[in-house]
Structure 1
Amino acid sequence: MLTALVAMGAVLASVTPASSSSPVGQAERDAGQGKLVWSSCNDPATPALQCAMLDVPLDYAHPDGKKIKIKVNRLPATAPKSRQQGPILLNPGGPGDSGLWMPVSIAGKIPQDVASTYDWIGFDPRGTNASEPHVTCDAHYFDGERPDYQVGKGTSKAWLEKSAKYAADCAANWSWFLPHMTTVDNARDMDSIRRALGVQKINFYGGSWGTTLGSTYGELFPSHVRRMVLDSIVGPTISWYDHNILQDKEHQRRFDAFAAWTAKADSVYHLGTDAAAVKRAYYQVEEALRSHPVDAAPAPGRIGPAEFEDTFYGGGYTFLRWPRMATVLSAYVTRNDTRPLQIAYNMYAAPGADDGTFPAYNAVQCTENAWPRDWEFWKKDQAKVDAVAPFYTYNNMWYNAACMFWPYQGNQAGRLKITGKGLPPVLLFQATEDAATPYEGGVAMHKALPGSKLVVQNGGSFHEILFRGNSCLDDTFTAYLRDGTLPAGKGFIARTCAAQPDPAPVYVTPTPAALKTQAPTALPPTHPEAVRGVW
């Protein structure tokens, strides 16, 4: 079977995508002249919010060919025309996460004398969410109970088959689209939005993969950038395979920090007074779920060890989840109570109606770099990582395993080279303990963008650190948007901000109705609603 899977990967890999790093030609500059016809989004909470669909070329090398649609929304500026500063495009990362929630959310988090001067623009990346078409490869790919992530449990064959089938299903239905879902394609969509807005320059805020999108846009279209903010940064030269290994090691550090925090609160959670005892409790629950999975209701299926791991890894994105995570362990170990686990799974890990943005994630990551195609290499290499970072390594490995079989071989040259040539000063934000986009990425981007200013949250661990209530960070962002003011520090780091304190340890008791009413969120872990503080 493994031989057949490798052969399948070789066949699928023989299809070569259009280059994603070619320079912008005249035809591409003239492409994307679709129009935005705004109408109400019918949002009762924000009547001013407007929506539109924008036609863009599927392939910017052939601008007169097939068109697809991008969903765009806008919260218009309300300041007098003389004070308006143009549109600011927004992207939360992913790759593929919806940006439609961002105009209202972010504009509401900064002073209105600044927010009112911008048109806040959200959009859904091509092939995702409300853009058309919405790419779906296997609507039930994330349904529980899924095979155990740990290779020592004998499930590697099942995961290889599952990953190969996912890649084949994507190729069978979307071979005409998948090669055109790269970061460069999305950056060109942003320029189509700019043109449709009728402006010469745009502003941009992006987090996580949005930093790759923003820096790529700046490389392709530097003369069209007015201001740019990148928050929680992917390094501009690291391969996606290597980036995931960095994530594994940083998620281990965050899990260690969670265990130490929980141990200090033994009077609340009763899991032991040292981090090792808390970790033993975690693996005790995971082992129990191998033989006795828990009903996932109201989500379909059951919660086994894979679903359990999915519920917990989000603690590396935000420690606001730590009290709920500790409660899950405490309830199970000390009370044999599975309700907190069921609720947490439905909040943080249960699948949505289909495979969501996973096709876009794969289309970007698998296509933009050359990935190892040999399972024997993965098995040996990932075992080395797991030896030092067992919390997340195999979870993350299988999440990315479709890249072994992806139908479009990655570009050997990697992603578009970022030089910053012609760009105005870019404002960079990075936390030192970020697990999803490790600190090295912020350092590398700062070096790649001459004139950029790096703001570091020392000891901070949030992924996407703005708009979390840290005035040092948020005031720096606001000053830049207000009038272009940059932090004045002359060193490599222009400004250092303190981290927020750890959350208070609280045993979070669900209400009797919580289990019946809690529905799956299917939200990205950085979305504000995905880290709400109550059950």
Structure 2
Amino acid sequence: MSITRLAVPLLAAAALLPAVPAVAVADGLSWQLCATVAQGWDPGDHRTECTLVPVPLDYADPDGRKIDIAVSRIRATGTRAGAILLNPGGPGQSGLTMPGSIADTHAGGLGVHHDLVGFDPRGVGYSADLPCPAEFPEPGSTDEEKAREAAERFAEANRKCVDADPAFVRNLTTPTIARDLDRIRVALGEDKIGYYGVSWGTALGAQYRSLFDDQVDKMLLDSVMPPAFSVTAMDDGQATAGENTFHEFAAWIARYDAIYRFGTTEPAVANALLGLRDEYGESVNGMLANPRREWAGLAKQLAAIRDGGTPVAGKTTTGGLGWNGEPHAFNHFQQTALLCNESPSPRDFETVWQHRLDRMQRLPVAGGYGFYEQLCIGWPLDARPWSFENGTSPLQLAGHLYEPVTPIGWALAVQRRIGGALMTVEDDVHGSLASLPCADAVVTFFDTGRTTSASCPGAPVPGP
């Protein structure tokens, strides 16, 4: 779906925004150990510093209302060559702890010559966290009226959140957060800045590079979002990838028929698993399109169910950290606002429900998993889609051949749109590059600017 026509008013408005002055104001920042200002922070962390950077609520009104963006930093351990901004994705995800997370991975060499800089995007964590108690809809309902009631409750909760501060919510967009990044760059006193983004953080990076290409030193994007954003297309792409994972799982089980006894061919195993699903319902369906690291345990459980056992319910975990009110490390409403402010997707229940039925007909295992489209039912604000442009600054992409969260086709589409070299990671793990030995290529890229189009081995497919 093309968004060019829809994006024109946004781009025209962006051209009228005042330029951010390239003034080094790093000395004006008040850095303190995060452990001394952030409630719940690891008291043993003596390397991560935190500060606040003020930014306009609305960049069309730069002298108006201000909000603070929380920023963290781990200083370079060797001869300093610059700084790298980091974002873990979401949207809605806190990024303050990402410098420490990256420093402790195979990509930790980034911190030798670069300050590692994290931040909470506006509306998340310590950056004007939205205290919005909106419920989060659970995907998977097969009853139309129950799904409609749930969608209406969610839409009403969202409307209350929007009405509480419409100016703030209206400015929860990827281009606005990209402009916040540039304010962070200026506050750090950097003429150019590196950037490392994962998942939605790749869209933020691509948007920053589109707006501020001259201010980019080097940029790496891992697990890449599509260049034209739509929650409808997102559900379709993820469900299609999930269906492919189901067939890969069935083929894996077939290789170990002596253990699991579902059949010796992928079609035979797939049919057997679908028959088990028809008998036991969603509890089994939820085991059929999972990551490879879970295959052995799931296959054993599926065989036990077939032989008379019962499904085991999964467990969920929650987490957060505090600083003046203990904001959560993930903000569901900020995610909803960002997605729906930028997706030209249907807002009515009937269309979204029909899309779900069509998807389930086309993709019998994973078609019902999608839930992003339903987030925008009843969303009261108009969509302003993002728009990416090519640039000249060094760009390294990393796509994962088998992962369902950001399918590899999205990375290829982004490469066609904005350029860059694409490293392919042979795994199904979302954003795993930093955890693999081939993250050495990431360090080399930021140190030298040398990109790679090599294939990177991921963790091996597990045995039974």
Q: Sequence identity, in percent?
A: 30
Distance 1:44 1:156, change over 3 A: closer
Question: Of 440, 455, 478, which residue of structure 1 is paired with 2:443?
Answer: 478
- Paired with 2:333 and 2:72, the residues of 1 have a C-alpha distance of 23
- The corresponding residue for 1:51 is 50
1:257 shift after superposition = 2.1
Question: Of 127, 142, 150, which residue of structure 2 is paired with 1:150?
Answer: 142
Q: Please list, as runs of the form range in 1=range in 2, the aligned pairs for 1:323-342 lying within 5 A after superposition.
A: 323-326=296-299, 329=302, 334=307, 336=309, 341-342=312-313
- The corresponding residue for 1:100 is 96
- Residue 177 of structure 1 aligns to a residue whose secondary structure is helix
1:49 shift after superposition = 1.1
Checking the alignment, whether the CA contact within 8 Å between 1:92 and 1:99 is kept in structure 2 is yes
Shifted more, 181-190 versus 58-67: the winner is 58-67
Q: Which runs of 5+ in 1 are unaligned?
A: 1-17, 290-304, 488-493, 506-535
- Paired with 1:335 and 1:499, the residues of 2 have a C-alpha distance of 36
- Paired with 1:207 and 1:345, the residues of 2 have a C-alpha distance of 25
1:177 shift after superposition = 1.5
- Residue 116 of structure 1 aligns to a residue whose secondary structure is helix
Give the residue type in structure 2 aligned to 1:39: Q
Checking the alignment, whether the CA contact within 8 Å between 2:106 and 2:436 is kept in structure 1 is no
Checking the alignment, whether the CA contact within 8 Å between 2:243 and 2:365 is kept in structure 1 is yes
- Paired with 2:310 and 2:356, the residues of 1 have a C-alpha distance of 34
- Paired with 2:139 and 2:204, the residues of 1 have a C-alpha distance of 33
- The corresponding residue for 1:424 is 393
Is residue 390 from structure 1 mapped to residue 383 from structure 2 by the alignment? no
Q: Please list, as runs of the form range in 1=range in 2, the aligned pairs for 1:15-34 lying within 5 A after superposition.
A: 19=10, 22-25=13-16, 27-30=18-21
Distance 1:403 1:114, change over 3 A: closer
Give the residue type in structure 2 aligned to 1:503: P
- Residue 467 of structure 1 aligns to a residue whose secondary structure is helix
- The corresponding residue for 2:417 is 448
- Paired with 1:379 and 1:470, the residues of 2 have a C-alpha distance of 44
Give the residue type in structure 2 aligned to 1:231: D
Is residue 371 from structure 1 mapped to residue 367 from structure 2 by the alignment? no
Q: Please list, as runs of the form range in 1=range in 2, the aligned pairs for 1:77-92 lying within 5 A after superposition.
A: 77-79=76-78, 83-92=79-88
- The corresponding residue for 2:403 is 434
Checking the alignment, whether the CA contact within 8 Å between 1:28 and 1:61 is kept in structure 2 is no
- The corresponding residue for 1:189 is 180
Checking the alignment, whether the CA contact within 8 Å between 1:110 and 1:478 is kept in structure 2 is no
1:97 shift after superposition = 1.2
- Residue 167 of structure 2 aligns to a residue whose secondary structure is coil
Q: Please list, as runs of the form range in 1=range in 2, the aligned pairs for 1:342-357 lying within 5 A after superposition.
A: 342=313, 344-347=314-317, 356-357=330-331
Is residue 179 from structure 1 mapped to residue 170 from structure 2 by the alignment? yes
Shifted more, 211-220 versus 255-264: the winner is 255-264
1:119 shift after superposition = 0.6
Distance 1:192 1:354, change over 3 A: closer
- The corresponding residue for 1:514 is none
Is residue 321 from structure 1 mapped to residue 294 from structure 2 by the alignment? yes
- Residue 281 of structure 2 aligns to a residue whose secondary structure is helix
Distance 1:236 1:84, change over 3 A: same
- Residue 87 of structure 1 aligns to a residue whose secondary structure is strand
1:210 shift after superposition = 0.8
Shifted more, 99-108 versus 213-222: the winner is 99-108
Distance 1:430 1:497, change over 3 A: same
1:200 shift after superposition = 0.9
TM-score by length of 1: 0.73
1:59 shift after superposition = 0.9
- Residue 441 of structure 1 aligns to a residue whose secondary structure is helix
Q: Please list, as runs of the form range in 1=range in 2, the aligned pairs for 1:120-131 lying within 5 A after superposition.
A: 120-131=116-127
1:208 shift after superposition = 1.2
| 1:129-173 residue CA offsets vs partner (Å, 9 max, x unmatched) | 2322334242x436xxx685224x753332332332233232232
Instruction: Number of aligned residue pairs: give it.
Output: 438
TM-score by length of 2: 0.83
1:28 shift after superposition = 4.9
- Residue 94 of structure 2 aligns to a residue whose secondary structure is coil
- Paired with 1:250 and 1:21, the residues of 2 have a C-alpha distance of 36
| 1:202-225 residue CA offsets vs partner (Å, 9 max, x unmatched) | 100011111110010011111110
Checking the alignment, whether the CA contact within 8 Å between 1:31 and 1:60 is kept in structure 2 is no
Q: Which runs of 5+ in 2 are unaligned?
A: 1-8, 36-41, 321-326
Distance 1:23 1:159, change over 3 A: same
Checking the alignment, whether the CA contact within 8 Å between 1:55 and 1:68 is kept in structure 2 is yes
- The corresponding residue for 2:61 is 62
Checking the alignment, whether the CA contact within 8 Å between 1:31 and 1:57 is kept in structure 2 is no
1:271 shift after superposition = 6.3
Q: Please list, as runs of the form range in 1=range in 2, the aligned pairs for 1:94-243 lying within 5 A after superposition.
A: 94-110=90-106, 114-138=110-134, 140-141=135-136, 148-151=140-143, 155-243=146-234
- The corresponding residue for 2:72 is 73
| 1:13-61 residue CA offsets vs partner (Å, 9 max, x unmatched) | xxxxx94773254635259989532111223443111122222211111
- Paired with 1:112 and 1:470, the residues of 2 have a C-alpha distance of 11
- Paired with 1:427 and 1:409, the residues of 2 have a C-alpha distance of 33
- Residue 73 of structure 2 aligns to a residue whose secondary structure is strand
